[in-house]
């Protein structure tokens, strides 16, 4: 019962500190919209957030959030060598994150990547519990605890905080518990 109340509170007060009210959809219940999030009409969140891209062949790149693909990107030409790589993201909007300044890939700045290609890990290698919060601040309500080391899509970012989904619940993961390296842990 306590968990259900937290979910409802999260819906009422909103998990996205940078969004407008979601569009009305008569086929969508409040709970369904949280568990299967469909981010709509979100105001951009300013970020200073580094994490990595995950892909099989390449990552679709967008000129603006939720527009047609303008190109595909991969870090290396040799598929045996390419382990992916990371970017600094400077904004998030509608389930997309905007690439910030990168000295190795300057042409990528201001382009957008969908959250399904943006990954982040946790640093609880000892199996400890990590809180995820309703808002991107530690004074916020804890909506769930992540148990053990996990990897997530980064749905959005706000400052250095990452919005992740765990057990069907969206919540903000604080920077101190994030690992942005795809090939090693962050100890």
Residue 92 pLDDT exceeds 90: yes
pLDDT at site 50: 86
Q: pLDDT band at residue 38, thresholds of 50, 70 and 90?
A: very low
Task: Please report the beta strands in 54-134, taking only residues with DSSP state E, as ranges in sequence order.
Answer: 59-62, 69-73, 85-93, 96-99, 112-114, 118-122, 129-133
pLDDT at site 19: 45
What's the rounded Cα separation, in Å, for the pair 85 and 92?
Answer: 19
pLDDT at site 185: 63
Beta bridge partners, 4, equal none
Lowest mean pLDDT of 12-26, 98-112, 127-141, name the range.
Answer: 12-26
Residue 17 pLDDT exceeds 80: no
Give the position of tokens 């819906």: 11
Residue 13 pLDDT exceeds 80: no
Q: pLDDT band at residue 26, thresholds of 50, 70 and 90?
A: very low
pLDDT at site 20: 32
Q: What are phi and psi of 106, to 5 degrees?
A: -60, -30
Give the position of tokens 């979100």: 42
Identify the H or E element spanning 35. Answer: helix 30-35
Q: Which of 54, 34, 41, 49 is nearest to 165 (CA)?
A: 34
Between strands 69-73 and 96-99, the pairing is unpaired
- Residue 164 has, within 13 A of its CA and on its CB side, a CA count of 29
What's the rounded Cα separation, in Å, for the pair 104 and 154?
Answer: 22
Mean pLDDT value across residues 84-92: 87
pTM: 0.75
Model confidence pLDDT, tens digit, residues 117-153: 988 888 887 878 999 999 999 999 999 999 888 888 8
The full set of domains in the chain, from first to last, is: 1-187 (2.30.30.40)
pLDDT at site 121: 86
Handedness of CA 57, 79, 123, 146 (dihedral sign): positive
Question: Any idea what the Cα angle at residue 111 is, between residues 106 and 116, rounded to 5°?
Answer: 120
pLDDT at site 137: 94
């Amino acid at each position: 019962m306590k968990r259900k109340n937290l979910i409802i509170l999260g819906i009422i007060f909103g998990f996205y500190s940078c969004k407008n009210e979601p569009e009305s959809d008569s086929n969508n219940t409040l709970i369904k919209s949280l568990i299967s999030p469909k981010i709509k009409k979100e105001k951009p969140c300013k970020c200073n957030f580094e994490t990595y891209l995950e892909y099989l062949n390449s990552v679709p790149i967008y000129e603006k959030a939720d527009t047609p693909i303008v190109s595909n990107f991969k870090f290396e030409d040799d598929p045996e060598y390419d382990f992916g790589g990371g970017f600094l993201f400077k904004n998030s909007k509608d389930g997309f994150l905007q690439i910030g300044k990168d000295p190795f890939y300057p042409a990528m700045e201001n382009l957008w990547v969908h959250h399904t290609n943006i990954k982040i890990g946790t640093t609880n290698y000892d199996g400890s519990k990590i809180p995820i919060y309703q808002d991107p601040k530690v004074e916020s309500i804890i909506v769930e605890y992540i148990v053990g080391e996990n990897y997530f899509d980064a749905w959005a970012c706000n400052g250095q905080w990452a919005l992740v989904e765990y057990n069907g619940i969206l919540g903000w993961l604080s920077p101190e518990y994030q690992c942005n390296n795809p090939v090693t842990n962050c100890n």
